Amino acid sequence: MPVVDVYDMNNEVVSQIELDDRVFNAPVLEHLVHQVVVMQLANRRAGTACTKNRAMVSGSRKKPWRQKGTGRARAGTRQSPLWRGGGVVFGPTPRDYSIKVNKKVRRAALCSVLTQKLREGHLKVLEELELPEIRTRKMVEVVKNLGLGKSLIVLGGRNPVVELSARNIPTVQVMPVEGLNVYDILRYEDLVLVRDCIDGIYKRVGLS
């Protein structure tokens, strides 16, 4: 099992922790990671794009002029797609873009990206992350002390003080372990796990 250092907010090693091989030393299955990322992006689509067809356009259904004798083209309705303000042919309609992926595939993809972050040296375990008050400046100091770049910080649970302090930092995202997902791990270069979230990760992948 991989053993990693645990740091405090001053970037000093305070202890070590042993990580489970099944999560942090798993096979990196890129095709499953791709499948889950496609699912996540598809599920975020609203699917509310809509246009009016000729049946939905308001207006009189009366024939605008007689068929013959006016010198104008034949017309039977003002809702014709050929006319300005008429219906749209084959336009978008509300639809569901969501894709279903099996739970085992999602878990395997999550283990794959966690393993990859650890192997690349972009995973750091933090003993705790607590701030006395909501201050963006304090959160910036913590990020600088830890030597982080574009980073995702995962907490063991909701912490409004930390979340609000990091909200205005464009290179940092803070989330509870319940929201941890493959796409966000890949979006950020560094992954920071607060120690009490690791058990939550094990639960997410069905180990406890």
Q: Which helix (H) or strand (E) holds 160?
A: helix 160-166
d(CA 45, CA 38): 11
- What fold characterizes domain 3-27+102-204? Ribosomal Protein L4; Chain: A; (3.40.1370)
pLDDT in tens, 53-74: 999 999 888 999 999 999 999 9
CA distance 13 to 67: 88
With the CA atoms of 172, 177, 181 and 183 taken in that order, what torsion angle do they form, in degrees rounded to the nearest 10? 0
DSSP symbol at 81: T
Average pLDDT, the chain: 94
User: Which amino acid belongs to residue 108?
Assistant: A
- What is the pLDDT at residue 189? 95
CB neighbours (10 Å) of residue 76? 11
Largest CA distance in the chain: 94
pTM for the whole thing? 0.85
Residues 123-137, mean pLDDT to the nearest whole number: 94
179 Cβ contact partners less than 8 Å away, ≥ 6 residues apart:
none
Residue 170 has pLDDT above 80, yes or no: yes
Q: Where are the domains of the chain?
A: 3-27+102-204
pLDDT at position 135 over 80? yes
